[in-house]
């Protein structure tokens, strides 16, 4: 495992202090680096890699958005939209 990694995403470079072990870890790290503080999502089988990445966050040393779990994806979208309406920050 490398100690440092640079990722090129849409003409933006993100420097990571540790190399993510999975695509889910890389995705969550990039979201956090772009100002996403909360990740609103439904708990389902399609989010298993994301849930696994969150379970390893203490060991990975990476920074992720705070997870907000909703019982349905429509509720998650509504909460993210409400957060944007109040804060002006997309989530």
Q: Terminus-to-terminus CA distance in the chain, angstroms?
A: 30
Structure confidence at residue 1 as a pLDDT band (50, 70, 90):
very low
Kindly provide the b/e burial profile for residues 42-63, where b requires at least 16 CB atoms within 10 angstroms of the residue's own CB: ebeeebeebeebbeeeeebebe
User: How much is the pLDDT for 52?
Assistant: 93
User: How much is the pLDDT for 21?
Assistant: 86
User: How much is the pLDDT for 6?
Assistant: 60
User: How much is the pLDDT for 44?
Assistant: 82
Encoded tokens for 52: 């696994």
Q: Which residue has the higher pLDDT, 15 or 55?
A: 55
* pLDDT tens-digit series, residues 22-79: 999 999 999 999 999 999 998 888 889 999 999 998 888 899 999 999 999 999 999 9
User: How much is the pLDDT for 54?
Assistant: 94
């Amino acid at each position: 495992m490398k100690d440092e990694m640079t990722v090129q995403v849409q003409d933006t470079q993100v420097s990571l202090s540790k190399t993510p072990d999975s695509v889910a870890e890389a995705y969550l790290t990039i979201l956090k680096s772009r100002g996403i503080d909360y990740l609103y999502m439904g708990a389902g089988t399609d989010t298993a890699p994301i849930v696994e990445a969150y379970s390893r966050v203490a060991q990975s040393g990476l920074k992720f958005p705070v997870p907000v779990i909703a019982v349905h994806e429509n509720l998650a979208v509504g909460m993210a939209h409400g957060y944007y309406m109040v804060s002006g920050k997309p989530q």
